[in-house]
Chains A and B, each alone.
Chain A
Amino acid sequence: MATDIPNWIFLTLALMALFNAPQARPEAQHELLFFLSAGPTYHDVAPDDGPEDYEFFFDVDILYSYVNDRFRLLGEYIASTHELELERLQLGWQGGEKSIGWLGRFHVPSRHWNAIYHHGQFLQTTISRPFLEQFEDDGGVVPTHSTGLLFETAHKLEHTADLRAAFSFGAAPIIDDSELKPFDLLDPGSSNRAIADMRLAYLPDQLDENQLGLVLHWSDLEVDGSHTARQQGLRRVEQVSFGVYLDWRWREWRFLSSVAPVINRMKRQTHNQTDAFLSGYFQAEHEFRHDWTVFGRLEQTNNTSSSDYLELFPHSVTDRQMLGLRFDLAMQHALSLEVSRAQTPSDGDFEQYLLQWSAVFP
């Protein structure tokens, strides 16, 4: 997943924008943001191929955006102790006040968590992500990236309510060794098949962020490099997922929840087989004294032991009970602590302790 060349392209774009700013037309605007996060992780077990017992991570997420009237450019590049990757590179054209079409590599709209937080760790209250919201290289089993077309629109309902929709179609990830590998814009492969996603959201107040919604995902995942898949005689997987989600704030509380069944049609050399699992989470956050937030999340996935598809991702955390605390300081820094009881298909139960500093500049 790591690529070396995109460093130059992304940084060149960012620097060009930075130095061209004074000459920009009045309607042109741009933004360069750095989301930083770092901290230690500790697991109370150290399986041979599973999570390390102790790790230190450091992530820099660079976000660049440029808007000139109806045209938009958005790029997100992540450099961390684990990876270097061009996460998003999108060219957009705003058709009306509430519609925009994008071309490029983006995060699929069917994952609400990713659609609001992307890689901006500072904005995310928790340190860890729920199982179905994990990025491909962090153990995600449902694609989170697509390369193609994305269309977003909104329709005003009665009073202040909004109905928002997002549709995308593009190139799907492939099933690589122990992880999904998304289409890489700068190192395109030929075996990527298709992926389509949709999200429908109802917002009672268009200026607020409270919403509930429906999501739909379909993808055709080619097997390319997975040893376990080869042993299973697996050629490709057709995956369908549909679900509901809720993102609601009430006074000092915030609730985030999602439930989605994932159905996998495993296309083998000799026969086809279908397996399915249901995964969901409920997260509650409570802010007190303005700077402190206490949070917790329950995640559960069923059929983990009987799913051949999940066998391809033996170290993905499928179940978790988590409690945490976050302290915000100086508007753009936060310290967070998380304690979890987690479970993966191959490693069983273990405890996980995460400590994180996160920030955004400027």
Chain B
Amino acid sequence: MSPARVLLFACMGIMLCLEVLGAERKVVLVAGATSPLHDLDSLELRKIYLGFTVRRDGQSVKGLRNTADKDLNRIFLQAVVAMSEKSYRRRLLSLTLRQGIPRPSEYDKPDNLLDALSDDPYSVTYMWDDAAAHSPDVKTLRVLWQGN
């Protein structure tokens, strides 16, 4: 192999690595594939995860928590509810204590989360966009966060 070709492959390799390192990841809001939900703005989503009632077609929309991934959980706390884990946990406990509103269900196994989404068409959750793209059981409603 000529030195020029070696140099070319090396440059291509470096560029590929930089591309992978610099790739943006996205967290998306999803619902079940057959869900009638199609629009939930940031305020409504925050309300859902803070225990307020948000209705579509007369049905209460439920938020399911995806706790399978620490990074995903951190992004949810920052981008959706804008609280620390401690504050959010207390807020939800307080809501149960005051109003009897149960905390959002937590799922640390993707299969269980997808089953729960399928069971209730008026439920939403969040996941990495590549996971959403590879799952035929969900549809993406919108991007919640993107970054490295």
| B85 & A67 in contact (Cβ 8 Å cutoff) | no
Contacting pair A97 B102 (CB below 8 A):
no
Quick check: B100 and A90 within 8 Å, CB to CB? yes
| A31 neighbours in B (Cβ, 8 Å) | 96, 100, 102-103
Residues of B within 8 A of A117 (CB): 97
* Interchain CA distance A328-B116 in the complex, whole Å: 33
Residues of A contacting B122 with CB < 8 Å? Answer: 27
- Tell me if B85 and A331 are in contact (CB < 8 A): yes
Query: Is B50 a contact partner of A328 (Cβ separation < 8 A)?
Result: no
Q: Specify which of B47, B89, B97, B99 is in contact with A120 (CB 8 Å cutoff).
A: B97
Q: How large is the interface on B (under 10, 10 to 19, 20 to 34, 35 or more residues)?
A: 20 to 34
**Residue B53 is within 8 A (CB to CB) of chain A in the complex:** yes
The answer to whether A123 touches B94, judged by C-beta atoms less than 8 angstroms apart, is yes
Q: Does B146 count as interface, using CB distance less than 8 angstroms? A: no
Of residues 200 to 214 in A, which have CB atoms within 8 Å of B's CB atoms?
Answer: 207, 209
Q: List residues of B (66-96) whose CB comes within 8 Å of A's CBs.
A: 84-86, 89-91, 93-94, 96
Are A33 and B85 in contact, with the CB atoms below 8 A?
A: no
Contact present for A63 and B96 (CB under 8 Å): yes
Contact A92 B100 (CB under 8 A): yes
Question: Is A328 a contact of B97 with CB atoms below 8 Å?
Answer: no
Knowing A27-B59, A63-B96, A115-B98, the reply to whether A207 touches B103 (Cβ < 8 A) is: no
Cβ–Cβ < 8 Å partners of B84 in chain A:
290
CB pair A73 B100 closer than 8 Å: yes
Residue B46 is within 8 A (CB to CB) of chain A in the complex: yes
Tell me the nearest residue of chain B to A88, going by C-beta: B100
| A118 surroundings in chain B (CB, below 8 A) | 97-98
What is the number of residues of chain A that contact chain B, defined by CB distance less than 8 Å?
Answer: 34
Q: Mark B105-148, 1 if CB is under 8 A from A, else 0.
A: 10000000000000110110000000000000000000000000
- B16 touches A (CB below 8 Å): no
Known pairs A29-B102, A67-B102; A94 contacts B53 (CB<8 A): yes
* A115-B97 Cα distance, complex, nearest whole Å: 9
**A116 adjacent to B94 (CB under 8 Å):** yes
Q: Is the CB of B93 within 8 A of A67?
A: no
Complex interface: chain B residues within 8 A of A97 (CB): 52-55
Contact assessment for A290 and B86 in the assembled complex, using a CB-CB cutoff below 8 Å: yes
Cβ–Cβ < 8 Å partners of A30 in chain B: 102
Query: Is B60 an interface position by the 8 A CB rule?
Result: yes
- The closest CB in chain A to the CB of B85 belongs to A331
Would B98 and A331 count as touching, CB distance under 8 A? Answer: no
Q: Are A65 and B100 in contact (CB under 8 A)?
A: yes
Query: A55: CB under 8 A from chain B?
Result: no
- Which residue of the partner chain A has the closest CB to B120? A26
Q: Which residues of A contact B8 (CB under 8 A)?
A: none
Q: Which of A69-98 contact B (CB under 8 A)?
A: 69, 72-74, 90, 92, 94, 97-98
Contact, CB under 8 Å: A65 / B96: yes
CB-CB under 8 A from A331, the residues of chain B are 85-86, 89
B86 near A328 with CB under 8 A, answer: yes
Measured in the bound complex, the distance between the Cα atoms of B104 and A67 in whole Å is 12
Is residue A360 contacting chain B, with contact meaning CB distance below 8 A?
A: yes
> Is B15 interfacial (CB 8 A cutoff)?
no
Contact B98 A27 (CB under 8 A): no
Q: Determine whether the beta carbon of A27 is less than 8 Å from that of B120.
A: yes
Instruction: Give the shortest distance, in Å, between B40 (CB) and chain A (any CB).
Output: 14
Given contacts A26-B120, A29-B102, A97-B54, contact A123 B59 (CB under 8 A): no
Q: Is the CB of A116 within 8 A of B98?
A: yes
Query: Which residues of the other chain, A, contact B93 by a CB distance below 8 angstroms?
Result: 33, 120, 122-123, 360
B89 touches A27 (CB 8 A): no
A sample of 15 cross-chain residue pairs with beta-carbon separation below 8 angstroms, ordered by A number, consists of A26-B119, A31-B100, A31-B103, A65-B96, A67-B101, A74-B100, A90-B100, A94-B53, A97-B52, A97-B54, A120-B93, A120-B94, A123-B90, A123-B94, A290-B84
Q: Which residues of A contact B (CB under 8 A)?
A: 26-27, 29-31, 33, 63, 65-67, 69, 72-74, 90, 92, 94, 97-98, 100, 115-118, 120, 122-123, 207, 209, 290, 328, 331-332, 360
Binding site for A on B (CB under 8 A): 43, 46-47, 50, 52-55, 59-60, 62, 84-86, 89-91, 93-94, 96-103, 105, 119-120, 122-123
Known: A92-B100, A360-B93. 9 other contacts (CB 8 A): A26-B119, A26-B123, A31-B103, A65-B102, A94-B53, A100-B99, A116-B94, A116-B98, A331-B86
